[in-house]
Amino acid sequence: MKIRKPQVLEVEGKPRLAVIPLAAWQRIIERLEEAEDALAVRRWRAGRSETIPAEIVNRLLDGENKIKVWRSHRGLTQQALADACGVSKPYISQLETSARVASQTVLRKLAGALRVDMDDLV
């Protein structure tokens, strides 16, 4: 299916949205994912990408707390992670047991300390 011209929706008199067929949208998503995969391979080949051990991947897939998994993988204690993020050790413990939910600010600090993307923690 070839898209010639999408339906354009206006909001307050200005074009804001484009409507395209679902099949076309799915092809766009597939191509973006393929491009993302190709970029990851190029980074790995250039030595700029970290490989993650299967044990860590399996723990994450099994639903273990992501902060705890990454903290242990990085060899950090709860206290060391707390110090790096400017929070208390009990706070880290509560995050790891899902007794609390981290704010965006703390998530950003955790991601930096653990050297992962914020998306890897939520």
Q: Where are the domains of the chain?
A: 7-45, 54-121
Closest CA to 38 of 27, 49, 54: 49
- Computed from CA positions of residues 35, 36, 39, 44, in that sequence, does the dihedral angle turn out positive or negative? negative
Contacts of 1 (CB under 8 A, 6+ apart): 21, 23, 24
Q: Domain 54-121 adopts which CATH fold?
A: 434 Repressor (Amino-terminal Domain) (1.10.260)
The one-digit pLDDT tens for each residue of the chain (122 residues) are: 566 788 999 999 999 999 998 988 999 999 999 998 888 888 778 876 678 899 999 999 999 999 999 999 999 999 999 999 999 999 999 999 999 999 999 999 999 999 999 999 98
Residue 5: predicted pLDDT: 83
The whole-angstrom separation of Cα 66 and Cα 41 is 24
Residue 68: predicted pLDDT: 97
